[in-house]
Amino acid sequence: MTNKKSKGKGGWFNQPYRHALASRGIGTRISKNDLRDKGVYPEESKLLSDAQISKDDIENFLESIDAELIEIHPSAYNRYRAVEVETTEGRFVIARDYDSAILLAEDRVREDLKENPNMFEDWFIEQHSYLSDTDKRVMLSDEFSHYIDTLEHEHPDWSDERLDEEAQKRVNNLESELERNPYQYFKDLGYEDDYILNRIMRIDYEEASEEAVRSDGAEHYLSWVDGEIHDVPNSDAVYWKI
């Protein structure tokens, strides 16, 4: 079977051939009508539908950047109402709206925090780290036992009741310190930052990611080329280059 260009204006019926040409840097021109009827293939239409992005959104986007469609790719972006689009002007992500871009950016920050928290400033990690309730209970219980042993050695004449009372006072003071600033408490004990943040405390990924995107903007974490998120004309959709 031979690969043939359609008789219609500028459209390509044979998708594998279109992709093969694109991979070699050869553009395949698609008219507006072809974009609607032939240029977007069934599997691509499914991606757009899942992302709640219309073919009109794609057409308006292509017109705004003066480009032609090569392929709409399945990618990790799809679960956030966004698609990755390859055009003659490069690769872009189109999101259903800016709110979708925010969700995508927050997800990116969460992944970065989990995989490489050293990418972020120490003060930011400290601000969004916490000691879990379970870890705190275990620590306080261990410290209570430690205080009892210490007091028994220091005051062999004390009654069990007095030992318990004094140990509980120390535990209460420790609990107050942990609630006020657990990071500083462990820092004062001589622990290194990496050990505190990676072995003792935990990062609140949800809170941290929301704060990061709220402060820096979604474009800071998504648009590596020009640092901008652009509006698709006549649409709620937005796009950025990758």
Q: What's the rounded Cα separation, in Å, for the pair 26 and 4? A: 16
List strands edge to edge, sheet with 238-241. Answer: 69-73, 82-87, 90-95, 238-241, 230-231
Range of the domain at 63: 15-104+218-241
The model's pLDDT over 77-123, given as tens digits with 9 standing for 90+, comes to 888 899 999 999 999 999 999 999 999 999 999 999 988 887 888 78
Strand 238-241, strand 230-231: pairing: antiparallel
Same domain, yes or no: 86 and 142: no
Same domain, yes or no: 152 and 232: no
Same domain, yes or no: 196 and 236: no
Residue 114 in any domain: the answer is no
Residue 29 in any domain: the answer is yes
The tally of domains found in the chain comes to 2
Band (216; pLDDT cuts 50, 70, 90) = very high
Token pair recorded at residue 93: 């992500």
The model's pLDDT over 141-193, given as tens digits with 9 standing for 90+, comes to 999 999 999 999 999 999 999 999 999 999 999 999 898 888 888 988 898 87
pTM as predicted: 0.68
Q: What's the rounded Cα separation, in Å, for the pair 237 and 148? A: 64
Residue 78 in any domain: the answer is yes
CA distances from 172 to 1, 59, 137, 179, 181 (A): 81, 65, 12, 11, 15
Which one, of 114, 95, 115, lies nearest residue 105 by Cα?
A: 95
Residue 212 in any domain: the answer is no
Q: What's the rounded Cα separation, in Å, for the pair 97 and 237? A: 4
User: What average pLDDT does the chain have?
Assistant: 83
Is the predicted pLDDT of residue 34 greater than 70, yes or no?
Answer: no
Same domain, yes or no: 193 and 230: no
Task: Give the model's pLDDT for residue 89.
Answer: 94
Same domain, yes or no: 232 and 162: no
Same domain, yes or no: 197 and 228: no
The DSSP secondary-structure symbol of 225 reads T
Residue 81 in any domain: the answer is yes
Residue 121 in any domain: the answer is no
Residue 211 in any domain: the answer is no
Three-class secondary structure of residue 149 per DSSP? helix
Residue 98 in any domain: the answer is yes
